[in-house]
Structure 1
Amino acid sequence: MLLRTYLAVPAVLLTLGAAHAAAEECPAKSTQMDDIIAVLEKAPSCNRAMKIFGACEYGASGDVQFGEVVEKKCEADFLSGLGAGQKRAYAHELKRCDDKYANESGTMYRSFTAFCRAEVSQRHSQKALKAGPKAR
């Protein structure tokens, strides 16, 4: 049983390594925050911005600014079409992200919050784009 455990660990590490190797390179001209923000702002879609965010993340509090750009990009797809109740529900989902790591110290938790918020915005964008324009 112990031998199986030792053999399984390298297989897991190889799998994780392959997934990491397949990850996209950050398309910004440098790792400077302004360069990454510029690339995020130029992203043609919410989903593309989210991929860039994942590729360029710092894993620290700097991700808050990247996440804000992604949120705005995604919100452009749906926010104006939400009613008052839907906007409150969306705000509540974002607040859940804020609350999730509020009591944790360390900059990586700010990154986790930024990704959580961006993912919420991305889900709403995808849902809105899938539904298409509202009939008038």
Structure 2
Amino acid sequence: MRLRSWLAGLAMVLLGSVAHAAEECPATSNSMGDIIAALNAAPSCDRAMKLFEACAYGASGDVQFGEVAEKKCEADFIGQAKPSQKLSYQRELGICDRKYRNRSGTMYISATAFCRAEVAQRYSRRVLQAGGAGR
């Protein structure tokens, strides 16, 4: 059982390394403040997600980065979402929050942050593809 958990963690780290190789983090330094500034400056949800992937620590610090990307994506749809859509969105975020809750290690905290941001990105893309307001 521990071996399986360890292997799952290793797979997440390796997959994260592949994602990071796709683009260099454009922040002026590796500090959390500089990365958050770069995320806030992103012109769109998709760009914020690319930066999040490129700049992620792979640890609990990713929560702050994910929150910025999540909010950037929410700006595309949350204001025009119907109550039922908002409820559906909140349920999907809850699934992310529960997915790794019984796992130990900061990489699982990072995985939760990515899951939440990816949910927000999916909702943003749906609205933008449907011709809704957005960035």
Q: Give the TM-score normalised by structure 1.
A: 0.82
Question: Displacement, 1:85?
Answer: 1.1
The CA distance in 2 between the partners of 1:107 and 1:113, in whole Å, is: 10
Look up the match of 1:76.
Answer: 75
- Specify the SS of the correspondent of 2:36: helix
The alpha-carbon distance between structure 1 residues 64 and 84, as it changes in their structure 2 partners (threshold 3 A), is same
**Percent identity between the two aligned chains:** 65
Q: State the secondary structure of the residue aligned to 1:38.
A: helix
Superposition TM-score, scaled by structure 2 size:
0.83
How many Å separate the matches in 1 of 2:119 and 2:85?
13
Match of 1:113 in 2: 112
> Residue 79 of structure 1: SS of its match in structure 2?
coil
CA RMSD after TM alignment: 1.6
Give the secondary structure class of the aligned counterpart of 2:57. Answer: coil
Unaligned runs of 5+ in 1: 1-15
Matching of residues 34-45 of structure 1 within 5 Å: 34-45=33-44
Runs of 4+ in 1 over 3 A off after TM superposition: 19-22
* Aligned-partner Cα distance in 2 for 1:112–1:21: 14
In 2, the alpha carbon distance for the partners of 1:80 and 1:107 equals: 32
TM-superposition CA deviations, 1:78-105 (whole Å, max 9, x none): 0111111110110000000000001111
1:48 lines up with 2:52 in the alignment: no
Tell me the equivalent position of 1:91.
Answer: 90
Aligned to 1:64: 63
Which segments of 5 or more consecutive residues in structure 2 lack a partner in the other structure?
1-14
Letter aligned with residue 69 of structure 1: V
Cα distance, 1:34 vs. partner?
0.2
Task: Give the structure 1 partner of residue 6 of structure 2.
Answer: none
